[in-house]
Amino acid sequence: MAREFTSVGVVGLGTMGAGIVEVFARNGIDVVAVEISAAALERGRATLTGSTDRAVAKGKLAEADRDALLARIDWQVGLDALHSVDLVIEAVPEHLDLKQRIFAELDRVCRPEAILATNTSSLSVTEISVATTRPNQVIGIHFFNPAPVMKLVEVVRTVVTSADVVADVEALCARLGKVDVTISDRAGFIANALLFGYLNHAVGMFESRYATREDIDAAMKLGCGLPMGPLALMDLIGLDTAYEILDTMYRRGGRDRRHAPVPLIKQMVTAGLLGRKSGRGFYTYERPGSPVVVPDEHTPVSTGAALADGARAIAKVGVVGSGTMATGIIEVFAKAGYEVISVTRGAEKSAKVCEAVKTSLNKGVVRGKLSEDDRDAALGRVTWSATLDHLADVDLVVEAVVEELSVKKALFASLDEICKPGVVLATTTSSLPVIDVAMATQRPADVIGLHFFNPAPIMPLVEIVQTIRTSAETAATGRAVCAGLGKTGVVCGDRSGFIVNALLFPYLNDAVKMLEASYSTADDIDYAMKLGCGYPMGPFELLDVVGLDVSLAIQRELYLELREPGFAPAPLLEHLVTAGYLGRKSGRGFRDHTKR
């Protein structure tokens, strides 16, 4: 029989604590909510009532249920109020000495059979437990932010946590409507170990002015379908908390430089820019605690006129290539009203591409997203050719041929001879340096990267890659074209992986390393990222879709260019590729797809 939890205590009512109180009270459990001072208690209470009032306003919580929920909470200053609860969850700032002091005190105050839990994100639960005389009743219960919304709980068992305590806590999670994964005590557990290297890297991109905050966040939301961008997430987590988590992970997790907090984080913490909770972090918020972003001096002007400032007029577009990307890009431009010349290496290939574009447009008609007239008009705008010479008078060329530098360079050299002056030459490469293809021409200032995502007609993002030779006019043209296509263009420099792949693939690689180290299973790691961080797919699901060979190639490029030891491809990934386990396309990757 699992233990009955009729009353629990929560210590520390900040970003996490207030949410955890709400989770328990919503599920009919009495809560003693404890803070260090009357003022902090008031702040915690305000956070919770703000959250429940919003739920009522949105129709997600009945008023009577809200009142019943609030009636279950006993607000108190000081730990002594916890003398008769069955379980305590501690959610004070991420400092080991503070948590140890609190646990020693809880050990003295609480009933001998009470379970003592920490919500720590990165500290050792074992080290916290030894501050008590009952380490076998100490456990990690790691909720995700915002606690009332995120489904996942990581249950952290130390080597001395007793099995019945683990089972009781797992049963409690189920009662709270949460999905738990039970793991051992390692820095960052599953989700944070995979998340924080990525967040820190994104802050590094921002700090080095590689891209703007809006563009970094838009890239990850639109390119990967994440619920929020990394900088907005840092603001939600709180920069002080994020700093402590990174610092602990760096020290506990093998001094991986990718966890050494980017200096900007410490500067922002010192300056009081803690994120949402202080009203300002990477973004500025309506007021402290508010989720509403308001414009500030860094907010870009996004009117059409400003976007097109200095841009060249583009009416006629050449698309070179006959693969998936070229096909999608032809459709995108034709639908947006541009005149398109498609150039392939032969009539047969042109016929195939034409067929594929037609099929895709027809799907749009069947789904009611496109009228028959619009489909016919779009097709009428495309001319099919097998000769580059037909690109002599286009305003923009988009190259989407095979991902081989020698082929792309030869093509750009030809385009340089054929195209009229003033044309913008764009490559869709996802991994080669744009400057290499630019230097194959006599006009590197006119060359830019336009990295579309697959499938191009659906994915809303384009990375606009400027080399050190790209002119302001060419860059403005790139931005205007993306706006004309109805896509979100994000501007970045010419580094391996641009924004999205540079942030995404090391995370996927880390997940493989975690699996390889037998810390957890592919299923639990996938759950953790989906239910704890709101990712649309777990890392192993995504790897199998993208292809393990493609992922390995991208990870190798990143490693070679940035020489970051942490980016070294996971040996398991290399072995699976060697074994021919490439993912869905070969029937087997991390999972066997032939049986489903």
Ligand X SMILES: NC(=O)c1ccc[n+]([C@@H]2O[C@H](COP(=O)([O-])OP(=O)(O)OC[C@H]3O[C@@H](n4cnc5c(N)ncnc54)[C@H](O)[C@@H]3O)[C@@H](O)[C@H]2O)c1
Residues that bind ligand X (CB under 6 A): 11-17, 34-36, 40, 91-94, 102, 119-121, 142-143, 145, 237-238, 241, 245, 277
Shortest Cβ contact with ligand X: which residue?
A: 14
Instruction: Name the residue nearer to ligand X (CB basis): 235 or 541.
Output: 235
User: Residues 119, 192, 430, 431: which is the catalytic one?
Assistant: 192
Quote the least distance from Cβ 132 to ligand X, whole Å: 16
Of 35, 154, 170, 214, catalytic: 154
Catalytic residue among 119, 122, 124, 142: 142
Q: How far is the CB of 175 from ligand X (least distance, A)?
A: 20
Token pair 């030891």 is found at 565
Q: Give the number of other CB atoms < 10 A from CB of residue 126.
A: 18
- Cα(198)–Cα(205) distance, rounded to whole angstroms? 11
Nearer to ligand X, 233 or 582 (CB): 233
For residue 378, list its beta bridge partners.
Answer: none
Rounded to a whole number of angstroms, the minimum distance from the CB of residue 120 to ligand X is: 4
Burial class, 172, CB count within 10 angstroms (exposed 0-12 / middle 13-18 / buried 19+):
buried
Cβ atoms within 10 Å of 378's Cβ, excluding its own: 24
Q: Are 75 and 33 in contact (CB under 8 A)?
A: yes
Least separation in angstroms between residue 364's CB and ligand X is 41
Give the shortest CB-155-to-ligand X separation in angstroms: 13
| Cβ proximity to ligand X, 245 vs 464, nearer residue | 245
Helices (H), 162-262: 163-175, 191-207, 213-224, 230-237, 239-252
Q: C-alpha distances in angstroms, 449 versus 254, 414, 555? A: 37, 18, 20
CB of 590 to ligand X, least distance (A): 27
Residue 17 or 197: the one with the smaller Cβ distance to ligand X is 17
Q: How far is the CB of 528 from ligand X (least distance, A)?
A: 13
Neighbour count for residue 256 (Cβ, 10 Å): 16
Least Å from the CB of residue 258 to ligand X: 19
Catalytic residue check, 200: no
90 is catalytic: no
If the CB atoms of residues 191 and 341 are measured against ligand X, the closer one turns out to be 191
Alpha-carbon distances of 452 from 223, 455, 456, rounded to whole Å: 9, 8, 6
Distance CA 82, CA 402 (A): 66
User: Smaller CB distance to ligand X: residue 21 or 220?
Assistant: 21
80 vs 417, which CB is nearer to ligand X?
80
Q: Which is nearer to ligand X, 153 or 311 (CB)?
A: 153
Cα–Cα distance, 417 to 389 (Å, whole number): 9
Closest separation in Å from C-beta 470 to ligand X: 38
The one-letter amino acid at 108: R
Nearest to 27 by CA among 136, 147, 137, 113: 147
Distances (CA, A) of 181 to 88, 496, 519, 550: 20, 35, 12, 30
> What Å distances lie between residue 256 and 200, 391, 518, 532, CA to CA?
12, 50, 19, 23
Residue 580: which region, alpha, beta or left (left: phi > 0; alpha: psi -120 to 50)?
left
DSSP 592: B
From first CA to last CA, the distance across the chain in angstroms is 37
- Asked if 372 is an active-site residue, the reply is no
Q: Among the options 51, 121, 145, 322, which is catalytic?
A: 121
The nearer residue to ligand X, 81 or 377, going by C-beta atoms, is: 81
3-state secondary structure 111-150: CCCCEEEECCCCCCHHHHHCCCCCHHHEEEEEECCCCCCC
C-alpha separations of 222 from 247, 335, 373, 497, 594 in Å:
30, 20, 30, 16, 30
192 annotated active-site: yes
| Residues with active-site annotation | 121, 142, 154, 192
